Amino acid sequence: MQSRKDKAEADITTHLKNPYDIVQGLLKDSTTALRLNENVYHLLKQPMRVLEVSIPVRMDDGRIENFTGYRSQHLDILGPTKGGIRFHPDVNADEVKALSIWMSLKSAILNLPFGGGKGGIIVDPDELSERELETLSRTYIEKITPLIGPQKDIPAPDINTSPKVMGWMIDEYDKLRGHNIPGMLTGKPVIIGGSAGRLAATGRGVSITIQEAASVLGMELNGATAALQGFGNVGSMTAEFLHHLGVKITGITNAHGGIYDENGLDIPDIQQFVKKGNVVHTYPDADPLTNEDVFGLPVDIFIPAAVENQITKNTAPAIQAKIVAEAANGPTTPEGDKIMEEKDIFVIPDILCNAGGVTVSYFEWVQNAMNYYWKEDEVNAKLTEKMKEGFQKVLDIRREKQIRMRQAAYTAGIHQITEAFHARGWIEEPYDK
Ligand code: GLU
């Protein structure tokens, strides 16, 4: 039986694992440190609108299953809200709210004219047939239709949602509206108005921030080593870019296990293996690796590219990397962060590190509006410029204020949003004297 002390400790841990509590705590700390008027915190701390929907789906066996979905819109003062839709069994209202706040900060840091949004459905997509998944995707869009649109809130892919899912969703929206509205959603297939370079954009952005961090630390990437937790779209693309830069990736894990090769895994071969429909941890030409052991590998760079709450008080002590690049959203708990601070690890925080996805989504939205499409090289060049600018902005704040990268990123994002509150007349004097 749990003792009272264990129970109290478990409660604290649970509390710290709620991403909504975590992001609100970070907002509170940052606004206080910036000597911002408390009203700014109160305006930032919760989304302006959250919708919960029921999504009845007739399953292949004839039975109706009713799924629950959400869409959270944090703030639209810098532009329409923007952010992905995830399909995952752990989706819940607080997670979606937190993710929408992170989207606001991400866009603000990169100076994109968007606020934050996020959606999700509580579902394990592996348990659904293709037809069931399509019905689920279409019905979700139907249910959130009153809230979305190219000038209101623009969805995109996130965990377990692909360009194919985006194709179903935009088709449903266009049918409901009666005409083509390509800018209502991003991350769609290129043939129906998607942007060249969008699929690889988040991973490309992660690798750009790693190059910037390596140059701050004087680390030579050619021959450096890295480990990755998560091998979905973002993880696998990041691996590919790092491999091209000469980084040896020695370990990769997913939720079920992983693979290890101290001489560096054969990334192109693993990509082929996964493309054929296999899962990464079953790749035969490597040693097995557990998800616990990936944290402690002797590498220069560690990349959490899975879900929230992975770098915790239990896993952070093992980390040996000099750079932690947060490709996932919210991969670190406050306790895990404290440990990384004590170890003086250079953390590229999520709201900067993984902002490449929404940046190319912004380019997609712009191309949809002008009905003129750029070549991939042009998109990639624009992405590189944006990511470097964002990184430099955060780095300058870190140097000037002698704070950590995460605090500097929050400072950059909050500052931008606060200027907008001021410009719109919501707050007269943002800074306390
Ligand atoms: N889901 C991605 C993210 O978390 C991309 C969002 C978007 O492209 O709007 O940043």
pLDDT tens digit sequence for 21-53: 999 999 999 999 999 989 999 999 999 999 999
Cβ of residue 82 lying under 6 Å from some atom of ligand 1: yes
CA of 429 to the centre of ligand 1 (A): 32
Task: Write down the mean pLDDT value for the chain.
Answer: 95
In terms of domains, do 175 and 62 share one? yes
Strands 225-229, 301-304: parallel, antiparallel or unpaired by DSSP? parallel
Return the best residue to mutate from 170, 202, 359, 364 for the ligand 1 pocket (most ligand atoms within 8 A of CB). Answer: 202
| Total length of the chain | 433
Cβ of residue 121 lying under 6 Å from some atom of ligand 1: no
β partners of residue 64: 58
CA of 229 to the centre of ligand 1 (A): 19
Residue 229 lies in a domain: yes
**pLDDT attached to residue 16:** 63
Q: What six digits make up the tokens of 124? A: 């394990």
Q: What six digits make up the tokens of 246? A: 């000469």
In terms of domains, do 290 and 209 share one? yes
Tell which of 120, 155, 182 closes a domain: 182
Tell which of 182, 215, 230 closes a domain: 182
Cβ-in-10-Å burial (0-12, 13-18, 19+) of 152 comes to middle
Q: Which amino acid is at 73?
A: Q
- Mean pLDDT value across residues 154-159: 98
- Mean pLDDT value across residues 350-366: 98
Rounded Cα distance, 403 and 41, in Å: 20
Q: Residue 198 CA: which ligand 1 atom is closest?
A: 8
Cβ of residue 430 lying under 6 Å from some atom of ligand 1: no
φ/ψ (deg, to 5) at 288 = -75, 155
Q: What is the CA radius of gyration of the chain?
A: 21
118 is catalytic: yes
- The binding site for NAD(+) comprises 202, 233
Cβ of residue 418 lying under 6 Å from some atom of ligand 1: no
In terms of domains, do 269 and 160 share one? no
In terms of domains, do 209 and 348 share one? yes
Q: What six digits make up the tokens of 91? A: 């989706």
In terms of domains, do 209 and 178 share one? no
Say whether 285 sits in a helix, a strand or coil. coil
pLDDT band at 411 (very low <50, low <70, confident <90, very high): very high
- The binding site for substrate comprises 82, 106, 361
Residue 21 lies in a domain: no
Rounded Cα distance, 287 and 297, in Å: 13
Q: Which of 129, 148, 139, 130 is nearest to 56 (CA)?
A: 139
In terms of domains, do 344 and 205 share one? yes
The CATH number for 155's domain is 3.40.50.10860
In terms of domains, do 304 and 240 share one? yes
pTM above 0.85, yes or no: yes
In terms of domains, do 216 and 169 share one? no
Cβ of residue 158 lying under 6 Å from some atom of ligand 1: yes
Under 8 Å between Cβ of 347 and 337: yes
CA of 11 to the centre of ligand 1 (A): 31
Residue 397 lies in a domain: no
Cβ-in-10-Å burial (0-12, 13-18, 19+) of 4 comes to exposed
How many domains does the chain contain in total? 2
**pLDDT attached to residue 7:** 47
Q: Residue 106 CA: which ligand 1 atom is closest?
A: 10
In terms of domains, do 220 and 328 share one? yes
CA of 244 to the centre of ligand 1 (A): 24
Say whether 293 sits in a helix, a strand or coil. helix
Rounded Cα distance, 35 and 317, in Å: 32
Give the percent of the chain with pLDDT over 70: 96
CA of 342 to the centre of ligand 1 (A): 31
Query: What are the tens digits of pLDDT across the range 317-355?
Result: 999 999 999 999 999 999 999 999 999 999 999 999 999
Under 8 Å between Cβ of 194 and 368: no
Under 8 Å between Cβ of 73 and 147: yes
Cβ of residue 315 lying under 6 Å from some atom of ligand 1: no
The total of other beta-carbon atoms located within 10 Å of residue 415's CB is 17
Q: Which of 11, 14, 13, 23 is nearest to 47 (CA)?
A: 23
Tell which of 318, 353, 388 closes a domain: 353
Residue 207 lies in a domain: yes
Rounded Cα distance, 52 and 35, in Å: 35
Residue 344 lies in a domain: yes
**What's 37's DSSP letter?**
-
In terms of domains, do 125 and 225 share one? no
Q: Which amino acid is at 408?
A: A
Query: What are the tens digits of pLDDT across the range 45-94?
Result: 999 999 999 999 999 999 999 999 999 999 999 999 999 999 999 999 99
In terms of domains, do 319 and 177 share one? no
- Mean pLDDT value across residues 256-264: 96
**pLDDT attached to residue 253:** 96
CA of 352 to the centre of ligand 1 (A): 12
Residue 417 lies in a domain: no
Cβ of residue 361 lying under 6 Å from some atom of ligand 1: yes
Query: What are the tens digits of pLDDT across the range 201-237?
Result: 999 999 999 999 999 999 999 999 999 999 999 999 9
Under 8 Å between Cβ of 247 and 217: no
φ/ψ (deg, to 5) at 391 = -60, -45
Residue 314 has pLDDT above 90, yes or no: yes
Rounded Cα distance, 211 and 219, in Å: 9
**pLDDT attached to residue 145:** 98
Question: What would the 3-class secondary structure string for 173-233 be?
Answer: HHHHHCCCCHHHCCCCCHHHCCCCCHHHHHHHHHHHHHHHHHHHHCCCCCCCEEEEECCCH
Residue 432 has pLDDT above 80, yes or no: no
Residue 431 has pLDDT above 90, yes or no: no
The CATH number for 330's domain is 3.40.50.720
Say whether 327 sits in a helix, a strand or coil. coil
Cβ of residue 84 lying under 6 Å from some atom of ligand 1: yes
Residue 32 lies in a domain: no
| ∠ CA 207-208-213, rounded to 5° | 95
Q: Residue 99 CA: which ligand 1 atom is closest?
A: 4
Q: Which of 305, 340, 285 is nearest to 158 (CA)?
A: 305
Residue 13 lies in a domain: no
- Mean pLDDT value across residues 143-172: 98
Q: In what order do the strands lie in the sheet with 346-348?
A: 287-289, 257-260, 248-254, 225-229, 301-304, 323-325, 346-348
**Domain interval for residue 302:** 201-353
In terms of domains, do 54 and 175 share one? yes
Of the residues 118, 188, 386, 393, which is catalytic? 118
Specify the residue for token string 């109290």: 8
**pLDDT attached to residue 1:** 39
